A and B are shown apart, each in its own frame.
Chain A
Amino acid sequence: MIGVELIAMTRITVTACIAFLIFGGLPANTHCQEAKMPDLKDPKVIEAGHEVFRSKHCSYCHGSDGNGGVNLTKRDLSDPKYVFQAITEGREKNGLRMPAWGGVLTDEQIWEAVAFVMTLTRPVK
């Protein structure tokens, strides 16, 4: 199982995740999501994510509509795994820094935030 990669994580459970860790190697920078990825288009999940976005002050930098100083609306954030990893591990790019939210937010909360953030962006043509 060496070299097995985590690809589609929609149905991967905690047990399977642990199996990968024990028996196989994980690609660098892969976060083992403990919670299932929910339906990211479910309005309830999106609303819960909006609440996370508000209460955890993502608006400071991103604006309440994503159009703040660090503008999310013009980014291609169509890959939910990338967004999940970015929120969990934080980001340092071009000198700017987003704190890491892993261990502060639960994975469930991070997925909810992913769902909301993805409503702010537009796909790259």
Chain B
Amino acid sequence: MTCDTSPAKLPTIAASLSGVALIGLGLVLGGTASAQAPGTEDPNNWPQYHRTSNAWRYSPLDQINKANVGKLKVAWIHQGGDITHGLQETPIVIEGVVYSISANNHVSAIDAKTGREIWSYQPKLDPIVKKVLFSPYSRGVAVGKGKVFIGTVDGRGIALDQKTGKEVWQTQLTDFANCHGCNFTSPPVIAGDVLTFGSTAGELATAGKIFGVNADTGAKLWEFNTIKQDPKSWPEETAIYGGGGAWMPGTYDAETDTVFYGTGNPGKDFVGTDRPGDNLYTDTMLALAPKTGNVKWYRQEIKHDVWDYDAPYEALLFKRDGKDLLVHLNKSGFVFVLDKNNGNIENIWRLSETINFVKDIDKKTGELIDRVDPEIGKSTLICPWAGGARSWNAGAYSPKTGLWYTAANEICGALTPVMQKTDPKDYGSGHIGSEDFGKLQLVPGHIPARIDARDPITGERKWTFELKAPSCSTVLATAGDLVFAGDPLGTIRAFDAESGQVLWSFNTGSGMRGGIVTYAVDGKQYILAPSGWGSYMALLLPSVFPDLRNVPSASTLIAFTLED
């Protein structure tokens, strides 16, 4: 497998180096090299959700590597307190400070060497959050311009002073009380001077939106409706309840001044008969201009979705053979390889082995071939299930191996769509057109849960590691030739990136749902793992993975490092 680019061999923090000054020099040089290979920028920090804008979740740090990962020890532990729905964040780490968010939007700044809290902040939330579907968790914060930015579970954007945690501004963005609980469960994106926020929607009887906000003042600049106001796409009043939304973090590509967002499913999830049309812009990769919210291009991946195949997952960027590519998995189990500049399809490949909702997707046009639309009142077995061939936990790409490391599941769901009335008071029940998300079923002859190492463009598989239950934890790849992944039973593993051999593991005590990161402070590298089981996976998966019923929840950050 040919890598996209060979990263410049940066001064590494080899364990054999004994001089602190020399190590410090190595770190400084690594951070200021003028021609940074993609994915290697700002090596000591984890400054944004996926570490770098290409969403690789790759770190060039290699002090912890294949030879010594077996010697990792716990450096410190931080308890988030409220364990409701676990700890789902990817923490941000900048210049020796961890910025963490736990349940009910509790934000902490933590010393990255000791785990001691520097400051904390928690907004007073609207009492309605107790009733809404998507609460009280958050997948992270954004840090930049001297501020820590959060999107709250009651639909606000809030900016805090990075040093003190004092509130700088707050802005109510969603019509929280009237949109069935539409809110933010992910961090905003810093796109120059603009902050973009993507709301939840999908299962809510509302139309999800993306907001552009002045990062310095909090003033709302624009609002993009992910439900296209077009009667051909959404006849009659269906657009009012269209769903969609963009509930995962987007990414900002400074090269083209574009913010990329994948959008959520249309509503009602499983009944499409009253919304004939393609239902734009649901299940769509959007390229937006951050200053205006204007659409530069879009690629709808699942037209007229009736299976709940949201498409908000990470958008990995590559340069390959002179092309700028965007690689994007959605819940359907298909991975779309698009032209980053116009959304044209370059390839489509299957992460899931058991797809049956369509016969295929046309690789030239993107049209769904021989789709299976479940009938009202009848049970139809659909694969993958509504939870997807993978959940929102992102994979990671290593330019050293050229491989994308991602969780994958083979689970089907027996769906029985039903007609459903919309109740304006409903916050917690959802607007889905079914009594459940489908009865889960495993597929004989197929590994139900695994970690795959794949070529991101062709899908060719290099290795697979079988798990006892679906991994819902976001992966980390490092220049130490390591891949870190966690599972819902609480085990974090370090894999040999080339072979998939497990080189180290540790029981974190609770299932893992958040993003594993790495950083360096004063010449020492740390692996930081959120541990705390929760989310709707905790509620839904136990029906076919009964071991998960007994997993205790938590809200714990565990930092690992090497012995001195």
> Taking the nearest CB of chain B, how far is it from the CB of A36, in angstroms?
22
With CB as the reference atom, state the residue of chain B lying closest to A55.
B420
Indicate the size class of the contact surface on chain B. 35 or more
**Given contacts A99-B131, A100-B131, A103-B425, A67 and B543 within 8 Å (CB-CB):** yes
Q: Can you list, as one digit per residue, whether each of A70-114 has a CB less than 8 Å from chain B (1) or not (0)?
A: 110000000000000000001010111101110110000000000
Residues A101 and B534 in contact, CB atoms below 8 Å apart: no
With CB as the reference atom, state the residue of chain B lying closest to A60.
B436
Residues A69 and B429 in contact, CB atoms below 8 Å apart: no
With CB as the reference atom, state the residue of chain A lying closest to B423.
A104
With CB as the reference atom, state the residue of chain A lying closest to B553.
A95
> Taking the nearest CB of chain B, how far is it from the CB of A48, in angstroms?
16
Q: How far is the CA of A101 from the CA of B133 in the complex (A)?
A: 11
In-complex Cβ contact of A63 among B418, B421, B436, B549 (8 A):
B436
Residues A69 and B541 in contact, CB atoms below 8 Å apart: yes
Apart from the given pairs A69-B542, A104-B423, 18 other A-B contacts in the complex at a CB distance below 8 Å:
A54-B418, A55-B429, A57-B430, A60-B436, A63-B543, A67-B543, A68-B540, A68-B543, A95-B86, A95-B510, A95-B532, A95-B552, A96-B85, A96-B534, A97-B85, A99-B132, A104-B428, A104-B429
Residue A10 CB within 8 A of the other chain:
no
With CB as the reference atom, state the residue of chain A lying closest to B537.
A69
> Taking the nearest CB of chain A, how far is it from the CB of B360, in angstroms?
31
> Which B residues are within 8 Å of any A CB, using their own CB?
83-86, 130-133, 135-136, 418, 420-421, 423, 425-430, 432, 435-437, 439, 510, 532-534, 536, 538-543, 549, 552-554
Residues A68 and B436 in contact, CB atoms below 8 Å apart: yes
> Taking the nearest CB of chain A, how far is it from the CB of B426, in angstroms?
6
Residues A96 and B540 in contact, CB atoms below 8 Å apart: no
Listed by A's residue number, 19 A-B pairs whose Cβ atoms lie within 8 Å are A54-B435, A55-B421, A60-B539, A60-B540, A63-B543, A64-B435, A64-B439, A68-B436, A69-B542, A69-B543, A70-B539, A71-B542, A94-B552, A95-B83, A95-B533, A95-B552, A95-B553, A99-B131, A104-B131
With CB as the reference atom, state the residue of chain B lying closest to A90.
B130
Q: Classify the interface of chain B: helix, strand, loop or mixed.
A: loop
Residues B131 and A90 in contact, CB atoms below 8 Å apart: yes
Residues A61 and B84 in contact, CB atoms below 8 Å apart: no
Q: How far is the CA of A61 from the CA of B83 in the complex (A)?
A: 19
Chain A residue contacts of B428, Cβ below 8 A = 56, 99-101, 104
With CB as the reference atom, state the residue of chain B lying closest to A102.
B131
**Given contacts A95-B83, A96-B85, A61 and B539 within 8 Å (CB-CB):** yes
**Given contacts A99-B428, A103-B425, A57 and B538 within 8 Å (CB-CB):** no
With CB as the reference atom, state the residue of chain B lying closest to A63.
B543
Chain A residue contacts of B538, Cβ below 8 A = 69, 95-96
Chain A residue contacts of B83, Cβ below 8 A = 94-95
Indicate the size class of the contact surface on chain A. 20 to 34
> Taking the nearest CB of chain B, how far is it from the CB of A108, in angstroms?
14
**Given contacts A68-B436, A97-B136, A104 and B539 within 8 Å (CB-CB):** no
Chain A residue contacts of B554, Cβ below 8 A = 95
Residues B429 and A57 in contact, CB atoms below 8 Å apart: yes
> Taking the nearest CB of chain A, how far is it from the CB of B473, in angstroms?
15
In-complex Cβ contact of B553 among A63, A69, A96, A101 (8 A):
A96
Chain A residue contacts of B135, Cβ below 8 A = 97, 99
Residues A104 and B436 in contact, CB atoms below 8 Å apart: no
The 10 A-B residue pairs whose C-beta atoms are closest, nearest first, are A95-B553, A99-B428, A59-B436, A56-B429, A61-B539, A95-B83, A69-B542, A59-B435, A100-B130, A57-B429
> Taking the nearest CB of chain B, how far is it from the CB of A105, in angstroms?
8
Residues A99 and B427 in contact, CB atoms below 8 Å apart: yes
With CB as the reference atom, state the residue of chain A lying closest to B87.
A95
> Taking the nearest CB of chain B, how far is it from the CB of A23, in angstroms?
27
Q: How far is the CA of A1 from the CA of B135 in the complex (A)?
A: 40
> Taking the nearest CB of chain A, how far is it from the CB of B497, in angstroms?
32
Q: How far is the CA of A106 from the CA of B426 in the complex (A)?
A: 12
> Taking the nearest CB of chain B, how far is it from the CB of A79, in angstroms?
22
Chain A residue contacts of B130, Cβ below 8 A = 90, 99-100
Residues B539 and A101 in contact, CB atoms below 8 Å apart: no
Q: How far is the CA of A77 from the CA of B436 in the complex (A)?
A: 22
In-complex Cβ contact of A95 among B418, B436, B534 (8 A):
B534
Q: How far is the CA of A100 from the CA of B84 in the complex (A)?
A: 14
Question: Which of the listed residues A56, A60, A63, A71 has the most CB atoms from chain B within 10 Å of its own CB?
Answer: A60
> Taking the nearest CB of chain B, how far is it from the CB of A19, in angstroms?
27
Q: How far is the CA of A54 from the CA of B543 in the complex (A)?
A: 18
Chain B residue contacts of A61, Cβ below 8 A = 539-540
With CB as the reference atom, state the residue of chain A lying closest to B437.
A60
Residues A71 and B549 in contact, CB atoms below 8 Å apart: yes
Chain A residue contacts of B437, Cβ below 8 A = 60
In-complex Cβ contact of B425 among A57, A60, A99, A104 (8 A):
A104
With CB as the reference atom, state the residue of chain B lying closest to A53.
B435
Q: Can you list, as one digit per residue, whether each of A30-64 has a CB less than 8 Å from chain B (1) or not (0)?
A: 00000000000000000000000011110111011
Q: How far is the CA of A99 from the CA of B430 in the complex (A)?
A: 11
